[in-house]
Chain A
Amino acid sequence: MEPILQVENLTKQYPDFKLDHVSFSIPKGAIMGLIGENGAGKSTTINAILDLIKKDEGVVKFWGQELSSDPRNIKENIGVVFDGVNFYETLTPAKIGRISAAAYKQWDDTTYDNYLKKLQLPPRKEIKTFSRGMKMKLSIAVALSHKPKLLILDEATGGLDPVMRDDMLDLFLDFVQDENHSILMSSHISTDLEKVADYITFIHKGKALFCKEKDELRYQYGIIRCKTDQFDAIDRSEILAYRKRDYQWDVLVADKEKARRKYKASVVDDATIDDILLLYVKGDQIK
């Protein structure tokens, strides 16, 4: 089945940072979480995907087509939410609706009004009076009201309280109920992605370290907690990342059941996405 979004060898060189041959693809009906620490390259990846910055290398295809081949029609089917609302603060949701209606052929006023009601956004109030959560809800209402097939969210849940984040995540899950819809969602809040994502692409220092199904990470990855002599006995080819703590070593492995059988003297814990991220970012890898 043709993926909704296919990214191959995406590369962008800056003087002090390089997005280095990032590749992943999003199948229909899936949520792809783009995870990594601040400055890892998540936003650069999204900017390059959307042609907001010029890529030095690589190919990005939406429904098998490059964005430059038919930008108007392809963009009709993409809803984007950045970190905040991109309309000037004196505008109201009603005016933003009229501006967006003039931009999108597929814009649906009824859908927009329903979202405003559902998300309790006053249509005639200036957005400068809105809380951050309300602004994010408004951005999502705008992004969903032109009936996109792909939603791209760049840190859209950052800075929101847990209740608000949960409301947002429910909206995203509703959106992918349609099997032709997909979401690319960047976040450094791994718990959000743990809740909704089907796939996780982990970006670290500009490189995609892995792109895997979330369940594979949750159910297969594990962390061996061991002493130095036990650490020395671990097969180096099994170590994805490790970190020396005060009295123990934390070792990330891709097959926790195998590790439990093989290293019976050590404790092997389940790994959360946060644990995996921390070990990759703060730990070391076997060279």
Chain B
Amino acid sequence: MKSLILKDLYNIGHNAKSMIFILLVLAFALIPSSGVEGYIIMSGILCSMMIITTFSFDDQSKWLKYAMVMPVTKKDIVISKFIVLLIFSAIGAVTGLVIGAIGGTIAHKGIFSSVNNMLSLLFTGAVSLVISEIAGSMSIPLLFKFGAEKARMLMLVSCLIPASIFFGVYKLFTLLGVSFTDQIIFILLCCSPFLALVWNFLMYKISYALFARKELL
């Protein structure tokens, strides 16, 4: 398992400089107009999408076939991808927080003007982690099933499907007369890490079921 994670981190390490460059460009583009919060969430999602790149590298080097002759199981391979996703999402959220805080200060967004603002920023970081985990984990079963070739399309699908599900649930509750007050939204956001956990577990089960049947030629 450790070797699988290490391999992905080494592979993606080569792209780290360009990712930081993209995040800096986005900071200039997003923070003055949309604020720091949007930027932090965007940073998390962008970094989580690097999981697609790891599959692309695997495909190019026929890694999965090779990995299966090493003393690891298919289960290890699937779990390692979810761990790598968590690492990427966490890096994205933390990097977003750091660049966002610096950018926000330069853009006079009043981040450090009160404890509340600072806490709100940290809270956004946690939300960014949850959103990128949910969006990223959606792409993993699709990648195991279809490969990285369709990565661009999958990026869209992996964001749209969970967004549509959550929007559908929101609409359903609205129709049932439930009003979403700030307090309810706050409680829901506090519960979201558990939702992300359940979602990841579900995606893991689907990914494993798909990969277990896959023949590696």
Contact = CB atoms under 8 A, between A and B. Distances in A.
19 contacts: A47-B215, A50-B69, A52-B69, A53-B217, A71-B73, A75-B70, A82-B66, A85-B61, A86-B63, A86-B65, A88-B57, A89-B60, A90-B14, A99-B3, A99-B6, A99-B7, A100-B3, A101-B3, A103-B70
A75 B11 contact: no
Contact of B215 (A52, A72, A76, A100): A52
A80 interface: yes
A78 B61 contact: no
A103 B72 contact: yes
A80 B69 contact: yes
A88 B61 contact: yes
Contacts of B71: 71-73, 75-76, 103-105
A135 to B, nearest CB: 11
Interface residues of B, number: 25
A91 interface: yes
Contact of A89 (B2, B61, B65, B70): B61
A49 to B, nearest CB: 10
A236 interface: no
A219 interface: no
A218 interface: no
B98 interface: no
Top 3 closest pairs, chain A to chain B, by CB: A86-B66, A103-B3, A102-B3
A73 B70 CA distance: 10
Given A53-B216, A53-B217, A72-B71, A86 B62 contact: yes
B68 interface: yes
Contacts of B21: none
A88 B53 CA distance: 12
A130 interface: no
Given A100-B3, A102-B2, A53 B10 contact: no
Judged by DSSP, the binding face of B is helix
A52 B73 contact: no
Question: A50, A52, A104, A105 — which one has the most chain B CB atoms within 10 A of its CB?
Answer: A52
Contacts of A152: 69
A98 B9 CA distance: 12
A47 B60 CA distance: 19
A197 B13 CA distance: 42
A234 B68 CA distance: 51
Given A50-B68, A82-B65, A90-B14, 19 more contacts: A51-B68, A52-B216, A53-B216, A54-B215, A75-B69, A84-B62, A86-B61, A86-B63, A86-B65, A86-B66, A87-B7, A87-B61, A88-B61, A91-B10, A98-B6, A102-B6, A103-B70, A104-B70, A152-B69
Interface in A225-246: none
Instruction: Give the bracket for the number of chain A residues in contact with chain B.
Output: 20 to 34
Interface in A4-23: none
Contacts of B61: 85-89
Interface in B1-48: 2-4, 6-7, 10-11, 14
Interface string A39-58: 00000000100111110000
A82 B62 contact: yes
Contacts of B3: 99-103
A78 B69 contact: yes
Contacts of A103: 2-4, 70-72
Nearest to B66: A86
A95 B8 CA distance: 11
Most chain B beta-carbon neighbours within 10 Å: one of A80, A88, A100, A103:
A88
A89 B215 CA distance: 24
Given A82-B65, A104-B70, A52 B217 contact: yes
A39 to B, nearest CB: 13
Contact of B63 (A54, A73, A88): A88
A89 B217 CA distance: 20
Most buried by B among A47, A95, A99: A99
A103 B11 CA distance: 16
A91 B62 contact: no
Contacts of A78: 69
B9 to A, nearest CB: 10
A123 to B, nearest CB: 14
Contacts of A100: 3, 70
Interface in B48-89: 57-58, 60-63, 65-66, 68-73
Nearest to A71: B73
A120 B37 CA distance: 52
B172 to A, nearest CB: 42
Contacts of B7: 87, 91, 99
